[in-house]
A = this chain, B = another copy of it.
Amino acid sequence: MGAEPSVGDEAAGGTALREPQQGRSRASFERMLSAAAALLRERGSDDFTLLDVSKKGKVSIGSIYHRFDSKDELIQAVHRRFIEQMIERQGVLIGKAVRQGDRLETLMHALIEEIAELLRQEGAMLRPLMRRASADPVVGAAGRLGYIDMHDRLTAAIMAFRSEIRHPDPDRAVASVIRIMYAAIARFLGFGATETPLDPGNWADLKEDLSDMCTAFLLHAPKR
């Protein structure tokens, strides 16, 4: 549910891939996708040429066009596949955090730890993805899908401790917490903005303070 491939395939914008199911075809299809993915990670953006993909993946340019109508579609396919994998991993990691959290505070720390580490590990791919999402609606939509999945899972996890929340509007408060948490991590990791984070700071500190901040917000109603 939510992570089955069919959803990703269609909802993300619908480029019906000519994806072969087996044998040599499948192998060369894999090679072109992973060559493109590797180049995306190495360069941090999609400004490589199809000749680069052709050489790195040991596939002919014609083969690429046999599978995709354009360079753009190849790149979109890489991103879409990556997002599907991210959705799977998010599910697993949030589940793990939920098992560790016995109170709102410990849960928040565990959730932020898991999400932050996932995003950090996949930074090399997320950076070009975010960058492209701002101009390419197909990738934008796919990215949104991954974000929404994470948002929904986090909401469910946090709402399990609804009784601890003192904020007058728990639904809105949780939504804000997730949004802000994600923004802070993404920015610290330089997604879509500077490669080198805008200020040095300390990764461990950020995670801790972010957890504390979110917890404090949920546990203490604003005086107004």
Task: Tell me which of B176, B183, B196 contacts A140 (CB under 8 A).
Answer: B196
B176 touches A206 (CB 8 A): yes
Task: Tell me which of B177, B182, B194 contacts A143 (CB under 8 A).
Answer: B194
Of the four ranges (under 10, 10 to 19, 20 to 34, 35 or more), the interface on chain A belongs to: 35 or more
A interface secondary structure, majority: helix
Copies in the complex: 4
CB distance from A219 to the nearest CB of B (A): 8
Binds B, one of A7-15, A17-25, A86-94, A126-134: A126-134
Binds B, one of A55-63, A71-79, A197-205: A197-205
A 126-159 binary contact with B (CB < 8 Å = 1; else 0): 0100110111000010011001100100000000
B127 touches A194 (CB 8 A): no
A180 touches B209 (CB 8 A): yes
CB distance from A133 to the nearest CB of B (A): 5
CB distance from A5 to the nearest CB of B (A): 17
Task: Tell me which of B131, B133, B186, B205 contacts A172 (CB under 8 A).
Answer: B205
User: Is A193 positioned at the interface, with any CB of B under 8 Å from its CB?
Assistant: yes
A175 touches B196 (CB 8 A): no
Q: A45-B135, A127-B134 given; name 20 further pairs at CB < 8 Å.
A: A105-B223, A131-B192, A134-B190, A144-B198, A172-B205, A176-B205, A176-B206, A176-B213, A177-B213, A180-B209, A180-B210, A183-B183, A183-B187, A184-B184, A191-B192, A192-B193, A213-B217, A216-B219, A216-B222, A217-B217
Q: List 13 A-B contacts (CB under 8 A).
A: A130-B193, A131-B134, A134-B190, A134-B194, A140-B195, A140-B196, A144-B199, A148-B199, A180-B183, A192-B192, A212-B217, A213-B217, A216-B217
